[in-house]
Amino acid sequence: MIWFHNEASLGKAGRTSRTPMPVMMNTTLPSNTLGKASLILGILGCFFVFLIGLCAGVGKAQGWLAAVAPIFFVLAASSAFLGFLAVVLGFLGLFGRHQSRGVAIAGLLLGTFAMFLFIAILNAAQQH
């Protein structure tokens, strides 16, 4: 421990009182709960939309997509809704005071990607 003295702490006998130096405080930003939720929903939305789109592509190539198209649409739309929720939570996570915004931005981008991927897969599945 490093000791220092200041002029105000000098006593009548000229002794110095030993005062410890201030300790550096942890300067990390508090966690962004909305941003974390946005990131998790964005990852899940992208993952499930991609997998359902992959199955739809295989089904279209093999000819059985028409039989399961309503089920795939409901599953993919639900996953795209996770992406929408990720966008909303990521947007709200940007406005927290003294919070890290990196995870909120990542969740916002992943949620947007999930929604655009759903639209692209839907357009590709409708083409003959």
**Straight-line distance from the first to the last Cα atom of the chain, in angstroms, rounded to the nearest whole number:** 76
Judge whether 97 lies within some domain. yes
Question: What range defines the domain where residue 106 resides?
Answer: 33-126
99 pLDDT band (50/70/90 cuts)?
confident
Judge whether 86 lies within some domain. yes
Nearest 5°: phi and psi at 123?
A: -65, -40
Judge whether 95 lies within some domain. yes
Judge whether 118 lies within some domain. yes
Residues 6+ apart with CB under 8 A from 8: none
Name the average pLDDT for the chain. 85
Judge whether 7 lies within some domain. no
Q: What pLDDT is attached to residue 117? A: 96
Judge whether 23 lies within some domain. no
The CA distance from 105 to 116, in Å, is 17
Q: Please indicate, yes or no, whether the overall pTM of this predicted structure exceeds 0.75.
A: no
Least confident stretch, 22-26, 83-87, 101-105? 22-26
pLDDT at 17 over 70: no
Judge whether 87 lies within some domain. yes
Judge whether 56 lies within some domain. yes
Number of separate domains in the chain = 1
